[in-house]
Structure 1
Amino acid sequence: MSNHTTGSPPAGPTAAEPLADGPIDAEPKPALGPLHDVAVIGAGPVGMFAAAYCAMRNLDTQLIESLPQLGGQVAALYPEKKIHDIAGFVSGTGGELVENLSRQLDLYGEHIEIHCNAAVRDLHRLPDGTFVLDTGASAFHTRAVLIAVGAGAFAPRALPIAYDHTLDGHGVFYFVKHLADFAGKTVAVAGGGDAALDWALELEPYAQQVFLVHRRDTFRALESSVERLRASSVEARTPYKFTSVTAAGAAAATATDFPADFKSEFTIGSETGSGTGSEPGTGGTGSGATLHLGLEHLKSKEPADLEVDALLVNYGFTSDNHVLRDWGLPVTRGDLIVDEHLQTSFEGIYGVGDAVTYPGKVKLISVGFGEVPRAVNHLAEALYPDRKQPLHD
Structure 2
Amino acid sequence: MPDDSAAHAAVSTDVAIIGAGPTGLFAVFECGMLRMKCVVIDTLEAIGGQCAALYPEKPIYDIPGYPAIAGADLVAKLEQQAEPFAPIYLLGRRVDSLAQMQEGGFELRTSKDEVVRAKAVIVAAGAGAFGPNRPPLNDLPAYEASGAVRYMVARREELRGKRVVIAGGGDSAVDWALSLKDIAKRVTVVHRRPKFRAAPESVAQMEAAAERGEIDLAIPYQLHALHGEGGELSHVELATLKGEKRMVPADHLLAFFGLSMELGPIANWGLGLERSHVVVNPATCATSIPGIHAIGDIATYQGKLKLILQGFSEAAMAAHAIHPQVFPGEALHFEYSTTKGVPAE
TM-score, with length taken from structure 1? 0.59
Structure 1 position 62, deviation (Å): 3.3
List aligned pairs for 1:168-317, cutoff 5 A.
168=144, 169=146, 172-233=149-210, 234-238=215-219, 240-242=220-222, 244-247=224-227, 284=232, 289-296=234-241, 301=242, 303=244, 305-309=246-250, 310-317=252-259
Distance 2:179 2:334 in 1: 46
Corresponding residue of 1:114: 87
- Note closer, same or farther for the CA distance 1:243–1:207 as it changes in structure 2 (3 Å cut): closer
Q: Is the 8 A contact 2:25 2:78 kept in 1?
A: yes
Structure 1 position 217, deviation (Å): 3.6
List alignment gaps of at least 5 residues for structure 2. Answer: 110-114, 325-330, 337-345
Q: Does 1:133 align with 2:74?
A: no
Q: Is the 8 A contact 2:24 2:315 kept in 1?
A: no
Corresponding residue of 1:84: 59
Q: Secondary structure at the match of 1:82?
A: coil
- Note closer, same or farther for the CA distance 1:227–1:332 as it changes in structure 2 (3 Å cut): farther
Structure 1 position 85, deviation (Å): 1.9
Distance 1:55 1:170 in 2: 33
Q: Is the 8 A contact 1:246 1:293 kept in 2?
A: no
Return the structure number with greater strand share. 2
Q: Does 1:351 align with 2:291?
A: no
Structure 1 position 319, deviation (Å): 3.8
Give the share of equivalent positions with the same residue, in percent.
26
Larger radius of gyration: 1
Q: Secondary structure at the match of 1:100?
A: helix
Structure 1 position 373, deviation (Å): 1.1
Distance 2:231 2:333 in 1: 58
Corresponding residue of 2:30: 53
Corresponding residue of 1:371: 311
Distance 1:62 1:40 in 2: 10
- Note closer, same or farther for the CA distance 1:243–1:228 as it changes in structure 2 (3 Å cut): closer
Corresponding residue of 1:274: none
List aligned pairs for 1:314-325, cutoff 5 A.
314-325=256-267
**1:295 partner letter:** T
TM-score, with length taken from structure 2? 0.66
Return the structure number with greater helix share. 2
Work out the number of aligned pairs and report it. Answer: 308
Q: Secondary structure at the match of 1:72?
A: coil
Cα-Cα RMSD: 4.8
**1:50 partner letter:** A
